[in-house]
Chains A and B, each alone.
Chain A
């Protein structure tokens, strides 16, 4: 590949190659303050390539490749190269990671304990994590959380936060513009803008945190809290894990332990302020 970079996010070392300079330059800007260890072998390889050589110049479109591929992934226009890179990085981790159980969940931590939020796209888990991370919480990740099968601890995966649609303005109003990437308009996921996590969150990305609270947020509707049983939390987390089956008994053991040791709630909230207030209240009760 003509252009390449290496990025370490939590325990995952990525090697990213591209036929074009722009996506790599954008990544280098977002990940400039992440720790660099060029001597470490890459865990995951991501390739952004032109389907045909001439496509690099004429109507350039980005194909995603790497150790794992999704055959029907559509190429994206070059203007969305950063989104293609993000999707490719997610894909390699979701399909290839075996050392930890991977949960499709955001996470924040306080005093060495972690709050995990799992939900579908649109549940607000990423926005809540991003907003809490601007307060007195450490952002561990907006998309993936890793669970160490041996210790039961949560490990951070603090990639650049992918803000979508309404969340962009909400977060942009509170942060230094230098921490925001370019606005990617009209992507298949709507408008996207990346947020660089606070330096403390990046510096602490190798510090594990014991899960203390598990939330399943749902954006919209009146404020509501519902205690969730161990069995339902287990079922939901098997669905939220991309590598539960591949992990075998280690995944089974990690998940049963997680739901037994961690109180779980389904929450509904009408706006971010209500959601954050609910989180703080449940956190205080969980640690009381």
Chain B
């Protein structure tokens, strides 16, 4: 599977409110509410308007959260990125 690149939604598009173990995200463009759990909020928090693929994101997550970044972490992050894109919370670059 190619390691696709994504970028964050434009600034101000999402309103993110942590609610305990869940995080509620209001998408101002679609008016939809999304409920996500870790690592989705962490992924969104580490993305910006510069295209970023799963490998780069895994490295950022490893640095930010002291993960070893080995094994299948990168595959899992790629899957989560695909899910965030399906919800419209990140965009294909």
Interface residues of A (CB under 8 A from B): 229-232, 234-235, 238, 244-245, 248-249, 252-253, 256, 259-260
* Whole-angstrom distance between the Cβ of A230 and the nearest chain B Cβ: 4
Q: How large is the interface on B (under 10, 10 to 19, 20 to 34, 35 or more residues)?
A: 10 to 19
Task: Check A230 against B33 for contact (C-beta < 8 Å).
Answer: no
Contact yes or no, A229 B33, CB < 8 A: no
Closest chain B CB from A264 CB (angstroms): 11
Among A229, A248, A256, the residue within 8 A (CB) of B31 is: A248
Given A230-B20, A249-B26, A252-B24, A235-B35 contact (CB < 8 Å): yes
Main SS at interface, chain B:
strand
Closest residue of A by beta carbon distance from B33: A252
A234 with B21: CB separation less than 8 A? no
Q: Count A-B contacts at CB 8 Å.
A: 40
A257, closest chain B residue (CB):
B17
In whole angstroms, how far apart are the Cα atoms of A126 and B15 in the complex? Answer: 35
The distance in angstroms between the C-alpha atoms of A253 and B26, with both chains bound, is 9
A249: chain B residues within 8 A (beta carbon): 15, 26, 28, 31
Could you show 29 A-B contacts with beta carbons less than 8 Å apart?
A: A229-B19, A229-B20, A229-B21, A229-B22, A230-B20, A231-B19, A231-B21, A231-B24, A231-B35, A232-B22, A234-B19, A234-B22, A234-B24, A234-B35, A235-B22, A235-B35, A238-B33, A245-B31, A249-B15, A252-B15, A252-B17, A252-B24, A252-B33, A253-B15, A256-B17, A256-B19, A256-B24, A259-B19, A260-B19
Q: Complex Cα distance A249/B26, Å?
A: 7
